[in-house]
Amino acid sequence: MGIKEALSKPFALFVSLQINKLRKNAIQFQEQIFQDLIKTGIKTAFGKDHQFEKIKTYEDFKKHVPIRDYEALKPYIDRVIQGEENVLWPGKPAYLAKTSGTTSGVKYIPISKDSMPEHIRAARNALLNYIHETGHASFTDGKMIFLQGSSELQTKAGIPVGRLSGIVAHHVPDYLLKNRMPSDSVNRIEDWEAKVDAIVEETINQNMTLISGIPPWCQMYFDRLSEKAGGKKIKDIFPNFKLFVYGGVNYQPYRAKIEESIGFAIDSIETYPASEGFIAYQDSQKTNDLLLLADAGMFFEFIPTETYFDENPVRLNLKEVELNKNYAIILNTNAGLWGYSLGDTVKFTSINPYKIVVTGRIKHFISAFGEHVIGEEVEQALMQVARKEGVEIIEFTVAPQVNPPTGELPFHEWLVEFGKAPEDLASFSKKVDQQMQQKNIYYADLIEGNILQPLKIRTLKRNAFIDYMRTQGKLGGQNKVPRLANDRVIAKGLESYILL
């Protein structure tokens, strides 16, 4: 047993006690955070504009602070970028996290000296919680890697700017620095494919024990490792590889392929980090839901998805949520985000403790005919049939075909890259459509009423999504392919990759 493995277990016990306190006292944490945020926010331009001095209760808060997405909050962020202090949070941000926006181009999310430690603490606690639950800690003595964007930082008005993963790379605890891979020089490579190749060269002969990243980009790393090693499984390249940590997308569509590449069903931890805050992580190997981090400097609000686009949507705090309902998640943070719509939707699987699953994006849906199909439904429908049929999915996206060129009825077009394709695509498509009808009654009504015809699956060439993302300049890092859209922008971009 190595020294880090030996020391990690008592530390994991200590952290597990803190996590149990979170599980039992989430509402108290939220109430205290709310008061602390308002007290601090009074000193800011935003607080003055929204009369924070009059806010005593959550009901007061809802009257004074509207819900905003990034575009609506952008005038305040622009002032921050121009160097103004005390705009959203006291002083200037410690960092600006650079992310890709869908309507406003590049987004700059403030990270404060108060919020940055919460990102590090959550990532650390997810690992320590795993150690305490399982007793497995040998990975701490090996090499660890997070497949991330460049750690190179620029500046705006004296504020360091970079991708969240690149910012976090500058805060790796000293005791892990010798374990961390790849080297800083490789981490700074901007071109994703060149970077993956360099990581393969640097790690293939190392004792890799923990690998972390967004699943599709980890799969690319595994594929290139295997190719370099003459077709070996990852377990044979890294015999001490014990733990896979992932986030950013639903793992289920990737699980079979990743586990096939590794060679066994490896332990895994799902995390839910965002530039805006570290929201949740999987706290048990026995379940797949995520513990909401109600003690991490964020006051959460939730909007039932059916009211989100109303003029006055219903706004709930944590103690008002219900099980198995879809909510848009709203953040108020110790980096100065107020009434901020994160864009994600979640569903509570437990309220004692508060645990969630991510169900999609509030603006990623198909409702060309009022069906309002969401990400959770398409993922579950496809994967349930794929598992039963022994079909392997690499990646997919769904779009409406409102005006088919042949004059036939409209339909939902599924563009799928298979690892192992179904023997009978027509039969497979029919079964996926039946699952969709069971999951969404509005979709079923449209099929039965001959408004829509059953879905059609288009088989894509191998590496279609990687090639498409390359053409968009979004290969690797924290970039993800939307699972569905209410337009045909992505579908049109993938047309040249269709096999049948």
Measure Cα distances from 269 to 111, 247, 260, 375 in Å. 25, 8, 18, 21
pLDDT at 477: 67
173 pLDDT band, cuts 50/70/90, is confident
* Percent of the residues in the chain that have a pLDDT greater than 90, as a whole number: 77
pLDDT of residue 184: 87
pLDDT in tens, 47-73: 999 999 999 999 999 999 999 999 999
Give residue 102's pLDDT. 44
Instruction: Tell me the mean pLDDT in the region 134-142.
Output: 94
In angstroms, the CA 409 to CA 447 distance is: 10
Which DSSP letter does residue 1 get? -
Q: What is the pLDDT of residues 454-497, one digit of tens each?
A: 999 999 999 999 999 999 888 876 778 888 988 999 999 999 99
DSSP E strand boundaries for 133-197:
143-146, 154-156, 159-162, 180-181
Q: At 105, is the pLDDT very low, low, confident or very high (cuts 50, 70, 90)?
A: low
Give pLDDT, residue 473.
84
Number of residues in the chain:
500
* Whole-angstrom distance, CA of residue 377 vs CA of residue 445: 16
Structure tokens at 482: 């939307």
CA 11, CA 314: separation in Å to the nearest integer?
Answer: 42
* Confidence grade of residue 152 (pLDDT, cut at 50, 70, 90): confident
Which residue bears the tokens 């962020």? 77
Sheet with 298-304, side-by-side order of all strands: 180-181, 143-146, 208-213, 243-247, 267-274, 277-282, 290-292, 354-361, 340-351, 326-333, 298-304
> Parallel, antiparallel, or unpaired: how do β-strands 298-304 and 290-292 relate?
unpaired
With vertex at residue 236, the alpha carbon angle to CA 234 and CA 238, rounded to the nearest 5 degrees, is 65
Which pLDDT band, with edges at 50, 70 and 90, does 101 fall under?
A: low
In this predicted model, what pLDDT tens digit does every residue of 187-227 receive, in sequence order? Answer: 888 888 899 999 999 999 999 999 999 888 899 999 999 99
Residues 427 and 385 sit within 8 Å (Cβ to Cβ): no
Per-residue model confidence as pLDDT tens digits over 334-392: 999 999 999 999 999 999 999 999 988 888 888 888 888 988 899 999 999 999 999 99
Amino acid at residue number 272: Y
Give the SS3 label for residue 84.
Answer: coil
Q: Are 379 and 414 in contact (CB under 8 A)?
A: no
In this prediction, residues 149-153 reach a mean pLDDT of 84
Q: How confident is the model at residue 103 (pLDDT cuts 50, 70, 90)?
A: very low
In angstroms, the Cα distances linking 284 to 12, 118, 128, 130, 184 are 14, 20, 11, 7, 32
Contact of 472 with 492, CB cutoff 8 Å: no
Beta bridge partner(s), residue 460? 498
Helix (H) or strand (E) holding 96, with range, is: strand 95-100
Higher-confidence residue: 500 or 90? 90
Q: Is the pTM of this model over 0.75?
A: yes
- Share of residues in the chain with pLDDT > 70 (%): 98
Which value, in Å, is the radius of gyration of the alpha carbons in the chain? 23
pLDDT at 31 over 70: yes
Return the amino acid letter for 158. Answer: G
Summarize the confidence of residues 315-339 as an average pLDDT: 97
The rounded distance, in Å, linking the Cα atoms of 334 and 332 is 7
Q: Which residue in 353, 361, 360, 334 sits closest to 292, CA to CA? A: 353
- List, in order of start, the domains of the chain with CATH numbers: 1-296 (3.40.50), 365-497 (3.30.300)
Tokens of 234: 């990852």
Angle at CA of residue 92, ends 86 and 96, nearest 5°: 130
Closest C-alpha among 182, 214, 170 to residue 477:
214
What whole-number distance in Å separates Cα of residue 85 and Cα of residue 10?
A: 42
Give the mean pLDDT of 149-162. 90
